[in-house]
Structures are given as C-alpha cells and as structure tokens.
C-alpha cells in the first residue's frame, strides 16, 4: 500500500537484529516523481509501512540501512543527501553535517570499527567515524542529551599503534585518517563563558595529562628543530556549542625543552600509556563527568603487560633526565645573561675590574657544563652534520630508540641509559657546585662594590 506502479526497488535491507524485519528504498524519478519511498516490514513481508516522515518531498530515496550495532537506528541516502532516524523510521532528520549536496548511491557500516561509509554520485567516498556517539544519543534520547548543559560520551577503546609518523605528499586522491589515540566526544548546550578542562586519569585516579580550552601561551617553546616529537605545548580542547571532538594521543606530558633547541633525531615526546583502564574527566563550570575507557595493545604484537611497563618506566626516566638537562641549560643561560649585564655595565671602570673578571670566570665554568650537555654551535636543523651531538641529544635519541617498537627495552638500551645518566649527573653535580659557591661569591662581590641598580654613563 502506498507503492506506485512501475516504481524501481533500489535497495533492500534485511535487519541484522530481527529476522522478521526488512526495509527497502525505491525511486520513481524516471517517471518524473521525485518523492521519497521508504518502506519497512516487521512480519516477513506480509505487510509493509511507508516510513518517510521528515524527508524532503523532492529527495527521492536510493538506499536505506540499519545500524548493525544498534537496533532501530536507520540511515537513508537520497538524491540530495543523508538522513538519520533514531526511532526505526517513524521520523527522519537531516544528517548532512559537512557533506556537499550530492546523490547518495549506497551506504555501508563497518560493524567492528563503527564507521559509516557512503558512496556518492561523482563526489567521492565519504567516511564518518565514531558512530558509537550516535548509538549513545539513540540510547539516551536525542532530546534528553540536547537538554543537558553538557554531556561526555563513553569513548571507544583506543589502540596503541606503532609505526612512523612520516607522511607522503598532499595528493588530492589521498584520504584522511581519523586521529590516532583515544577519541573523546562531548556535547555543550551553550558555548561556555570560561575555560573547560579535560583530564586523563589512570586506573588509580592519578592524573596522566590535563588539557584546557584556554588559548595557548604565545611564548611557549616551539618544538625543537630536528626532533621526532614533542614540543609546542599540549593540544587545545575545543569548546563550541554542540558536539566537540578531542583526540588524546595516548602520551604522557612531553619533556621540557628550551627556546632555540636543535636536536638530531631526538625524541622529546612523552611516553605512551601502557594498555589498561583510563578515565576521561570533563569539567565545565565547576561540574565534572567521568567516563572510563580502555587503551589496548596492537593485537598483532605479543608484548606482555610487564614488558610494556618496563618500556614505560625507562622512557619516563629518559624524559625526566632530558628535562633536567633542559632546565639546567635554561638556568645556566639565565645566570650568564645576568652576569654579562653586570660586566657590560661596569666595563672600563678600573675599580670595577674585579666584577668583570669574576663574571668571566663564572661564565667560563657555566659554559664548560653547558657545552657538555648541549651542542651550542647548532643554529639550524642541519648543523649537527658538522657538530657532534652532546649528552642531551644522545639521551633524546635513546628515547626514540626505546619507543621505536612495542617491546621491552633491550639490555643494550638499558646499558646506554645508565652510561648517559652517569655522564649527565657528573655535569649536573658540577653545576650545583657552581650555583652553590661561585654564584653567591659573585653576588657578594657585586654588593661589596656597590654596583648601582641603574647605571648612567657619563656624557662625552
């Protein structure tokens, strides 16, 4: 009933949830009838019901599919775009999102990955990731979700996927992969007036990493040239009205760097999370929602939980020791800058010569440590070809080696770490001695000489 003569049955969908249920999409545009025709049966085809409420009168229908992971969640492809039904076809609404106005010729749903794939007439294939968000909206009720001030959706399990981050050229025929790591979706009824935060917690509720919607600090250190990760500050959480997506790359905080740092194949990224249970905590206007999710290992690797933990522990120690060297270099340069300023201000005054000499002696000691920790001759990304890397670059490169595979560290990697830490600690001990003795002595000399806070050069 309601099916015109000479209509073309374009697609038939047997329900993956109920053997008695089926759907079909039909067209009659060849007879100058552009109305949509969608029908369903719940009794093995004995009776059929037209289900087109909400679809535009001129959007003739080409295909209908039921979500294999959620009963009654339907998708329809029409001549002008996509539609979705949360109530088994009783009503439809536009599901266009960022699609162009284009005929949808077929729809497929990847059951395991929960991806929606569509074919269009002349406008390529399109993929919509993370259909579990729609499943949760259908479960809770679209109107119920829309009425909440904010809502955090349950994230899908995230997989640690080893491999290179190198990319090819930007050819037009290359598709776009979804973001790596854990994808976290949330809904905001209104754009918040203040900052919102998204914090990742481990199974013991210990903070892993915290992100904010606050604009990034323009003075934050940029990523070191020549490195294989890290730097540039944490990702920013979107905070727009409606649905928002944030991707956590499964990494703990990056190592500390300093402005102008140049590394040769050094890795400053934080260690990746070991497989296990984690939590996402969304805070808006002082109120929080927490959802638990899993980080899983690549199913193709045989690495055990203990081996993952050993790798994580070593990478954490490498990151922390690298950060310690960066902080030491920053402190060295800060002290040298101040002593240079004093020396320049009193230069040429005979009675102030002891300050100039003391500043040079102090800076020489600081520089001796600095050049062992970092290759100060590097001014561009290719300079390490001419100047050998120093301790901080060596331990950063070791971090890249340890993180290069989902496997426990080798005995050789552990041995190299211990050797490098010994050498770094020797330099840091020298620095502590200088800071504890030479710097106070210089300050005492400056006070004794009564160097003025503001120095005015005499007129010529």
Radius of gyration of the chain, Cα coordinates, nearest whole angstrom: 31
DSSP 163-206: S--------TT---PPPSSEEEEEEESS--SS--EEEEEETTS-
DSSP 243-291: EEEEEE-SBPPPPP--TT-B-SS---PPPBPPSEEEEEEEEETTEEEEE
Write out the two tokens for 279. Answer: 């939590």
| Residues 263 and 336 placed together within one structural domain of the fold | no
Q: Are 27 and 36 in contact (CB under 8 A)?
A: no
Q: Are 130 and 185 in contact (CB under 8 A)?
A: yes
Write out the two tokens for 250. Answer: 């499964």
Of 275, 301, 327, which residue is a domain's last? 301
Look at residue 287 and tell me if it is in a domain.
Answer: yes
Going 20 to 108 to 56 to 134, the CA torsion angle's sign is positive
Going 416 to 421 to 422 to 428, the CA torsion angle's sign is positive
DSSP 383-417: GGGTS---HHHHHHHHHHHHTTSSSPPPHHHHHHH
Helices (H), 403-459: 411-433, 439-448
CATH number assigned to the domain comprising residue 51: 2.130.10.10
Q: How far apart are CA 39 and CA 89, in angstroms?
A: 9
| Residues 284 and 325 placed together within one structural domain of the fold | no
Look at residue 459 and tell me if it is in a domain.
Answer: no
| Residues 297 and 398 placed together within one structural domain of the fold | no
Of 254, 282, 301, which residue is a domain's last? 301
| Phi/psi of residue 251, nearest 5 degrees | -105, 145
| Residues 267 and 324 placed together within one structural domain of the fold | no
| Residues 95 and 152 placed together within one structural domain of the fold | no
| Residues 355 and 275 placed together within one structural domain of the fold | no
Among 201, 211, 232, residue whose Cα is nearest residue 295: 201
Q: Please report, for residues 239, 251, 282, the alpha-carbon distance to residue 195 in angstroms, rounded to integers and kept in the order given.
A: 8, 22, 11
Instruction: Taking each helix axis as running N to C, give the angle between helix 353-373 and helix 391-402, from 0 to 180 degrees, rounded to the nearest 10.
Output: 20
pLDDT of residue 196: 96
HSE-CB of 67 using CA atoms within 13 angstroms: 26
pLDDT of residue 433: 98
The domain in which residue 277 lies consists of: 148-163+179-301
Of 250, 279, 301, which residue is a domain's last? 301
Look at residue 143 and tell me if it is in a domain.
Answer: no
| Residues 61 and 159 placed together within one structural domain of the fold | no
| Residues 33 and 155 placed together within one structural domain of the fold | no
Contacts of 314 (CB under 8 A, 6+ apart): 402, 409, 413, 414, 417
Contacts of 219 (CB under 8 A, 6+ apart): none
Look at residue 188 and tell me if it is in a domain.
Answer: yes
Write out the two tokens for 223. Answer: 């990523």
How many residues appear in the chain?
A: 460
Among 27, 16, 136, 116, residue whose Cα is nearest residue 75: 116
- Biggest CA–CA distance in the chain, Å, is 110
pLDDT of residue 164: 46
pLDDT of residue 73: 98
- Long-range Cβ contact pairs of 45-48 (< 8 A, separation 24 or more): 48/1, 48/3
DSSP secondary structure letter of residue 377: T
What is the count of structural domains for the chain? 3
| Residues 320 and 437 placed together within one structural domain of the fold | yes
pLDDT of residue 218: 63
pLDDT in tens, 72-99: 999 999 999 999 999 999 999 999 999 9
Look at residue 60 and tell me if it is in a domain.
Answer: yes
Look at residue 454 and tell me if it is in a domain.
Answer: no
pLDDT of residue 224: 65
| Residues 320 and 369 placed together within one structural domain of the fold | yes
| Residues 294 and 183 placed together within one structural domain of the fold | yes
Instruction: Identify the segments of the chain with pLDDT beneath 70.
Output: 1, 163-173, 217-233, 455, 457-458, 460
pLDDT of residue 177: 82
CATH number assigned to the domain comprising residue 295: 2.60.40.1930
DSSP 104-142: EEEEEEETTTTEEEEEESSS-EEEE--THHHHHHHHH-H
Q: How far apart are CA 228 and CA 402, in angstroms?
A: 13
pLDDT of residue 100: 94
Question: Pairing state of beta strands 197-202 and 207-212?
Answer: antiparallel
Contacts of 306 (CB under 8 A, 6+ apart): 408
**CB count, 10 Å around CB of 432?**
12
Look at residue 137 and tell me if it is in a domain.
Answer: no
Q: How far apart are CA 342 and CA 355, in angstroms?
A: 8
| Residues 267 and 123 placed together within one structural domain of the fold | no
């Amino acid at each position: 009933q309601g099916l015109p003569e000479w209509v073309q049955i374009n697609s038939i969908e047997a329900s993956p949830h109920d053997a008695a249920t089926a759907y079909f999409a039909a067209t009659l545009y060849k007879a100058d009838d552009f109305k949509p025709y969608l029908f369903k049966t719940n009794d093995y085809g004995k009776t059929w019901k037209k289900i087109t409420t909400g679809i535009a009168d001129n959007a003739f229908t080409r295909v209908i599919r039921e979500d294999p992971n959620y009963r009654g969640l339907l998708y329809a492809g029409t001549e002008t775009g996509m539609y979705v039904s949360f109530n088994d076809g009783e009503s439809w609404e536009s599901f266009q999102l960022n699609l162009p106005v284009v005929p949808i010729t077929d729809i497929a749903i990847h059951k395991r990955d929960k991806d929606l794939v569509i074919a269009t007439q002349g406008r390529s294939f399109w993929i919509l990731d993370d259909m579990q968000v729609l499943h949760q909206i259908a479960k809770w009720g679209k109107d119920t979700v829309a009425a909440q001030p904010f809502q955090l959706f349950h994230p899908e399990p995230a997989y640690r996927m080893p491999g290179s981050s190198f990319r090819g050229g930007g050819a037009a025929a290359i598709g776009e992969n979804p973001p790596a790591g854990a994808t976290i979706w949330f809904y905001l009824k209104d754009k918040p007036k203040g900052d919102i935060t998204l914090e990742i917690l481990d199974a013991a509720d210990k903070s892993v990493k915290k992100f904010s919607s606050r604009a990034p600090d323009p003075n934050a250190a940029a990523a070191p040239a020549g490195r294989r990760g890290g730097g540039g500050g944490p990702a920013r959480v979107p905070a727009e009205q409606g649905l928002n997506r944030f991707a956590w790359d499964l990494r703990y905080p990056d190592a500390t760097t300093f402005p102008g740092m140049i590394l040769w194949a050094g890795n400053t990224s934080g260690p990746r999370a070991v497989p296990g249970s984690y939590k996402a905590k969304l805070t808006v206007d002082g109120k929080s929602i927490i959802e638990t999710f899993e980080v899983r290992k690549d199913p193709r690797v045989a690495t055990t939980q203990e081996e993952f933990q050993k790798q994580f522990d070593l990478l954490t120690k490498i990151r922390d020791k690298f950060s310690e060297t960066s902080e030491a270099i920053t402190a060295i340069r800060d002290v040298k800058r101040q002593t240079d300023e004093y020396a320049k201000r009193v230069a040429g005054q005979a009675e102030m010569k002891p300050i100039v000499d003391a500043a040079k002696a102090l800076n020489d000691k600081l520089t001796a440590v600095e050049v062992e920790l970092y290759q100060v001759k590097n001014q561009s990304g290719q300079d390490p070809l001419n100047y050998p890397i120093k301790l901080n670059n060596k331990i950063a490169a070791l971090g890249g080696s340890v993180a290069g595979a989902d496997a426990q560290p080798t005995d050789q990697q552990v041995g190299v770490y211990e050797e490098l830490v010994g050498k770094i600690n020797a330099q840091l001990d020298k620095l502590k001695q200088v800071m504890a003795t030479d710097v106070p002595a210089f300050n005492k000399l400056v006070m004794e000489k009564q160097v003025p806070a503001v120095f005015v050069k005499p007129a010529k």
